[in-house]
Amino acid sequence: MQTYSKHNAYMPFSLESLMKNTFYCIVIFLFSFPSYLLAADTSEQEKIYKNLETFSNVLTLLQQHYVDDIEAQEVISGAINGMLTSLDPHSSYMHADDFKELQEETKGSFSGIGIEITIRDSILTVVSPIEGTPAYNEGLQANDQIVAIDGEPSKNMTLMQAVKKLRGKKGTEVTITIHRKSWQELKDISLVRDVIPLHSVKVMELEPGFLTVRITNFQSKTVNDLQKALNVAMEKEALKGIIIDLRNNPGGLLDQAIKVVDLFLDEGIIVSTRGRRSEQNTIFNANKSENNYTFPIIVMVNEGSASASEIVAGALQDHRRAIILGTVTFGKGSVQTIIPMPEGAGIRLTTARYYTPSGDSIQATGIKPDITVEFVPPKSEEKNKDTNHSFREKDLPNHFENDDSTEKKTKKQPENIDTKETEENKATTRLRQDNQLRTALIILKSLELTAREKDIISN
């Protein structure tokens, strides 16, 4: 039986799969419902059948006496979903249309607002916005609570119901009501749906030899794109260090997360899964690679880093291959399996937990960074000018002009000069606005300097 294990903002399935650009890793599990019944002892079977008889009696009473006519299929579907959601936030029942949409999701893009969601403490909660999407551009953040969708309270919505309301045709609008701890009041945010971007790897040179690699989520081409970007950079010059930015990365395909780690490790466990049944226990190991990726690595994470992101961070941390910098990750360490049902329906069922190479469970605890650095939002440029402005000679009234000054000579630029922002300027801007990135670069440069000094001493 095919099962889809989702890994994202909350790891496998639930989060990611729920919301938006979700991807699933196909895994083969041997699920046989009759075998479960056969395995149960006689007394347990009797209890099950007795409860099923009670359920049947209640359904009959509803059909005969409820104030309005009922659709038996809808009532039964609701009962099944209620049974699953009583177990954990990520298990749920999918109608045939929902299951078909989920399968299509794994093959291509879809339109929506670009967030990963989960249910936390019975409240619909944002796991992470996807970079470059409407949700990201409008400033949604991890842990924002979605109180209502288009005016309808979300309190009793299932994840799939919320997903269906948030998705829609490109160009259509949806309004969500958000509660954020730092706000005094609820805020309505209108978002125009768009196609979720498929490119997950973005590379920028911060300084010669130092790169930042932003992975927005783990998609089918993530490893190939990452490897290509690194090789192109290495052809240009030797890499002194890279920063892998997994902040607000809700996860994605498990196999891609494993392969990313495998690029930087030659041996050892990358991640393992453990469930109640032996076929759900799996260990993924690193393989010796031909890549010469020996440069220092810093991985940046935050509360929006989930599922597959936590697998990458946890593996590189446990093997001391990278320094983890930022804040504690989301903590979605459960594996969801998609089980096809008759007539096209499906069940998403939590079947296992993720464990880092050291044997620690990610669930609810997340990955704790080696160096904790809280993100400090940048002040506006105007505020910076007002705050940092220093009083100099040129600010005095009636000051003498310097006819030979470079400033005056370069004041007017030829019309044919390209005024587009250069890559160097983009990097400078990013570093100025991102204190976590600045800190990561300082540490990388210190590591490179230390390694160089050791090499000089040994020679």
Which residues are catalytically annotated? 307, 318, 332
- DSSP assignment letter at 269: E
Take residue 231 and report the two structure tokens written for it: 């090789």
Closest alpha carbon to 251 in 211, 206, 306 = 306
How wide is the angle at C-alpha 410 spanned by C-alphas 405 and 414, nearest 5°? 160
Helices 72-85 and 42-65 cross at an angle (nearest 10°) of 140
The C-alpha torsion from 61 through 64 and 69 to 72, rounded to 10°, is 50
- Residue bearing tokens 């099962």: 3
Q: Measure the CA dihedral 26/28/33/34, to 10°.
A: 160
Place of tokens 């804040």: 327
Report how far residue 43's alpha carbon sits from residue 45's, in angstroms, rounded to the nearest whole number: 5
Query: What backbone phi and psi angles, to 5 degrees, belong to 242?
Result: -130, 155
Closest CA to 89 of 302, 303, 353, 332: 332
Phi-psi region of 151 (alpha: psi -120 to 50; beta: other; left: phi over 0): left
- The Cα–Cα gap between 285 and 401 comes to 69
Q: Tell me the C-alpha to C-alpha distance, in Å, between residue 424 and each of 237, 239, 429, 431, 452.
A: 16, 17, 9, 11, 25
